[in-house]
Structure 1
Amino acid sequence: MSKAEIFNKIRRGLHRGEPTAEQRAVALARIQAHKPVLIPARAQLDHAAQVELFRTMATQAAAKIIELNHLSELPQKVTEWLQHQQFKQLVSASDNWINDLDWSPLGDIQRVQRVAQSGDRASLTGCMAGIAETGTLMLHSGNSSPTTLNFLPDCHLVVLRESQVVGSYEDAWQLLRKTHPDGMPRTVNMITGPSRSADIGQKLQMGAHGPCELVIFLLKESH
């Protein structure tokens, strides 16, 4: 059943006909207004404090943070992490800023760019924003970064610039609307730490529905 058919059934159930042009205009104006709602006090900080709060909340959610002073350090830091895990392959997003880096430190570790597949051990992506109030990453789908990279591999490596850290979820949505004025991405994902579940026997199971490890490479604001 299509979305239009579902809405038509709801409309009939409410005994309402097709909306008038005036009603459509009112609804559209309300959607486009994006009026802010109540923002938690802990997110209303200066930017430096928001970055520190993000570090704290992300770490509490079992994410690992690796600091970068410059983006050029990323290949070496990623290589060191992959070697420690004894991984021989990295599935990477194909953003220009990733491809422009010198990946020679990988040596015999293979870096491939494609959608993720079952059995992939590690993926590398960027993200849209880091949300300080809960240590959450906002990512969205696109031609260069398929959503599968966020969920199928065992380990997800994410690059986050300090300049991308915002205080609240509302701030993140406003940023997304601003950077995509012609329409929202098909998929937007909110990721807080590695996947986990305690549904079975109340025992915490990491990687239950996605990556069992989330590594955030946090790039200093000045770079």
Structure 2
Amino acid sequence: MSESSATARSQILNGIRRSLRRGEISGDQRQAVEARLARPPLGPTVARAQLAQPEKVALFCQWAETNNATVARVAVPDVAAEVVSFLARNNLPARAAMAPSPQLADYDWDSQKMLSLRRGRGEAADQVSITGAFAGIAETGTLVMASGPEHPVTLNLLPDTHIVVVREADIVSGYEDVWTLLRERYGKDRMPRTVNTLTGPSRTGDIEQAMELGAHGPRRMHIVVVRT
């Protein structure tokens, strides 16, 4: 945490203490808080997602499709070809903004001569984005994105079509598994600035209870599940 962030945090916490008319906690209260922070309690788990990995992957795909995403399950050498095939099937241009992530670097993008890729953040003019995912959640068919230089958040939100490449090994049972993995990978004091959970393309039913895709983000999501 930077010095400016620490100062701002102290100011906020001191303001809360003044409103509560108390100082810093101590003794048993402090020990209880520190113990909870060191070992966060787990929330409830959903029984339907407590499965062996192959069934977990199948459940993730089932729920993703239920939530209006399309899914393709491919081997590592076929990832780039599947992306180009999806673009062609949907009459989309063979160009995309792609996350500058090592997670995507191992796929054979150069084999697709007609595909034009720009690595970096999403721009307003981008029609298609390609990203990886920190994890997939079998319980609901949800994708989890951790922000950072290798995964600009704009790629999740701006383009009309979002293509997500997720490995079978990164599909977990439920939400609690994701928070455990985040703490393990980043450390509790160095978590990503933003963690997005995406369940299918953007949609809303606010107006006359009619479902509208693309209301707050991509109207089309294609998930490429990579066999590992």
SS in 1 for 2:140: coil
Query: Residues 4 and 200 (structure 1 numbering): CA distance in 2 closer, same or farther, change over 3 Å?
Result: farther
Partner of 2:88: 83
- Other structure's SS at 2:224 match: strand
SS in structure 2 of the partner of residue 79 of structure 1: helix
Encode CA deviations 1:133-155: one digit per residue, 9 max, x unaligned. 11101110121111111111111
> Residue in 1 aligned with 2:120?
114
Q: How many Å apart are 1:8 and its aligned residue?
A: 3.2
Native 8 Å contact 1:79 1:105 kept in 2: no
Name the structure 2 match of 1:184: 191
Q: What is the CA distance between 1:20 and its match in structure 2?
A: 3.7
AA aligned to 1:77 is E
- Letter of the 1:174 partner, please give it: T
TM-score, with length taken from structure 2: 0.88
Counterpart residue number, 2:61: 55
* Contact map agreement 1:127 1:160 (CA 8 A) in 2: yes
Structure 1 runs of 4+ aligned residues shifted over 6 Å read: none
- Number of residues of Structure 1 aligned to a counterpart in Structure 2: 219
Return the alpha-carbon distance in structure 1 between the equivalents of residues 164 and 23 of structure 2: 48
Structure 1: stretches of 5+ with no match in the other structure: none
Supply the AA of the counterpart residue of 1:82.
Answer: L
Which stretches in structure 2 are left out of the alignment for 5+ residues?
1-7
TM-superposed deviation, 1:176:
1.4
Moved more, 57-66 or 174-183: 174-183
Q: C-alpha distance in 2, partners of 1:218/1:16?
A: 52
> Identity rate of aligned residues, in percent?
39
Give me the whole-angstrom Cα distance separating, in 2, the residues matched to 1:86 and 1:190: 25
Map Cα deviations across residues 103-128 of structure 1 (whole Å, 9 max, x no partner).
23432331001110112111111111
Q: 2-side partners of 1:147 and 1:97: how far apart?
A: 16
**Aligned match of 2:211:** 204
Q: What RMSD over aligned residues (CA atoms) do the two structures have, in Å?
A: 1.9
Aligned-partner Cα distance in 2 for 1:91–1:21 = 53
Give the one of 73, 80, 83 matched to 2:78: 73
Q: Partner of 2:3 in structure 1?
A: none
Within a 5 Å distance, the mapping from 1:1-223 to structure 2 comes to 4-20=10-26, 23-69=29-75, 71-84=76-89, 85-181=91-187, 183-220=190-227, 223=228
TM-score (norm 1): 0.90
Q: Which residue identity is paired with 2:219?
A: C
Shift of 1:24: 4.5
SS of 1:66's equivalent?
Answer: strand
For residues 40 and 98 of structure 1, the distance between their equivalents in structure 2, rounded to whole angstroms, comes to: 31
Residues 68, 217 of structure 1: 8 Å contact kept? yes
- Amino acid of the residue matched to residue 203 of structure 1? A
Query: Is the Cα contact below 8 Å between 2:79 and 2:226 reproduced in 1?
Result: no
Provide the C-alpha distance between the structure 2 equivalents of 1:157 and 1:33, rounded to a whole number of angstroms: 35
For the residues of structure 2 that align with 1:198 and 1:6, how far apart are their CA atoms? 37
- CA–CA separation in structure 2 for the residues paired with 1:16 and 1:176: 33
